[in-house]
Structure 1
Amino acid sequence: METKIFQSDQINQAAALLRQGELVAFPTETVYGLGANALLPESVKQVFAVKGRPSDNPLIVHVTDFSMTKEYVESYHPLTEKIVQHFWPGPLTLIFSIKTGSLSPVVTGGLSTAAFRMPDNKKTLSLIEETGAPLVGPSANTSGKPSPTTALHVYHDLKGKIAGILDDGATQIGVESTVLDLSGEVPTILRPGAVTKEKLEEVLGIEVPLDKHLVTESETPKAPGMKYKHYSPDTPVLMIKPADWKQAIAWAEMNNKKVGLLTTPKIADQYRSADRFVFADDTIEAATRGLFSGLRALDEAQKADIIFAEVFPDDHLGLAYMNRLKKAAAQNYFAEK
């Protein structure tokens, strides 16, 4: 299969393929999604096959506006309107209880709930509108590997497996959306993202708990990205705490380990390595934007035996960054034995 790269003036062609049941990857402000018509179960099944994704993993349904969800949702949480007004379009996915039979179990993972998002990307909103149906859109990569933040990343993983990719350059945020569960009484974050716990609490005026439960391989997750290990390159990753860099580098040299550095300029300037990916600046925003790109670049270069990755405080946007990094590293920090 030829995988075509679509530009802005070719959105109608990409939409035609989606209506026919083909798969087309699309850009969002977070990462690139692997698009299929959410109303065509056989197409959605192909998403799992192409990604190598467990079929019990629910998918996010991407819509053009809030009214598009009403055909599927059974009931809305009382705070839904306030949340949507403040955060849609944007990097926030909302989970609702849905009407029986309104969406295929292939989309919901067999659950009585479904996840919805309105992405903040004009090209993709046009694509959904042109398709005339909502689109499922898990990250457009091989399952378990770092998510794609450019069309080139998608092409690298899925060339010849999907019909096309709608290109919109590099994504702005770099990690997947926050997932907020509104199917119960208390809004609960199932996956942290750029819409932080603090931002939600400021708007809603209530405490918004974070579900830190990590799902094992035998459990059915309620939202994507809840597995214990995820986003992992083939090269092993170790998280390095601020006080441990000198010791970690010395350990690597002593054990003849070629190290790839995934760090801010502040750390990178202190150590010389055969291979490195340096974030654009020292901020958590730059680190989050560059995390998946950096993991991919260091892995694909095949110059490192191990990747040393910089950690950030587990709060605000750092919570989203560390959530992904911990899973990429299989929860492993450097600790000299």
Structure 2
Amino acid sequence: MDFSVLFTLALVALAFVLLFSVVKIVPQGREFTVERFGKYTKTISPGISVLAPFVERIGRRMNMMEQVLDVPTQEVITKDNAVVKVDGIVFIQVMDAARAAYRVDDLPYAISQLCMTNLRTVVGSMELDEVLSQRDAINTRLLHVIDAATEPWGVKANRIEIKDLTPPADITNAMARQMKAERERRAVVTEADGEKQAAITRAEGAKQAAILEAEGRKEAAFRDAEAREREAEAEARATAMVSEAIARGDVNAINYFVAQKYVEAFAELARSPQQKTVIVPAEMGALVGTIAGIGQLVGLAQDQQQTPRAAAAATAAPTPPRPPAPPRPRGSVPRT
């Protein structure tokens, strides 16, 4: 093969080598550091960049996207001497590629160890109940410490999360029994409160019933008294009318009172529970005559109401007494 051809091929190969060593393409989400004779000079951003041949080279390729680092599980002794297993995750993001590349060696391992040590410190200063119930407080304290520690490295700790907390088995059983006892206590308290409210409600109901019953008795007594008062007024008016009739010499008024008492006594005799047989008197004519007298008395009262002026004149003028009626034979029926 001709020497010129070989020389040409060598020049083309050298050109390609120089081209690839000088022209650099940085992908999105990455940043490359540039070193000149081993010394950091600059950082190139995503895109195409040209380096000085044989003088500059790419030093570190840094990932600028947010990364997730796992914190290994470890046993931590709490303030009250309880051993718990704790692990977690930390979210970081490189903010300065140069400092992250040249100020710390093996950045992920360094951040993981930093999280483990601070996790032991924070959890160890708390009691078991606080550790189990205050995860947010632990995350906040860890984030503040880790962010302050990684700031010189050009790294931002965005958040830290406690992934798992595992207390010993005996403590877990004790916590389960405690939770069961607390649930039972709450159930008993709730049931007692319900019975208390039910008793109060029943007492209120009985109170309202007693009040309403007393008011009902009061109203009934008032109405009974009013009825007796009206009955007494009616009886008084009737007695006054009969007295006036007697004063005028009307014998039927006396017969009215006698017949009334006679009928009431006979009715009581018939209603008596010890009475087996009721003996009707043979002389019913007297009763019938009395009833006829009552009818005449009622008619007289109606005549007085219809003609009050005539009745007043008749009362003013003295009237001669009427001759007594001839006696009727026993058993005869009076005519009205």
Q: TM class, shorter-chain normalised?
A: under 0.3
State which structure, 1 or 2, has the greater radius of gyration over its C-alpha atoms: 2
Greater relative CO (CA pairs within 8 A, separation 6+):
1
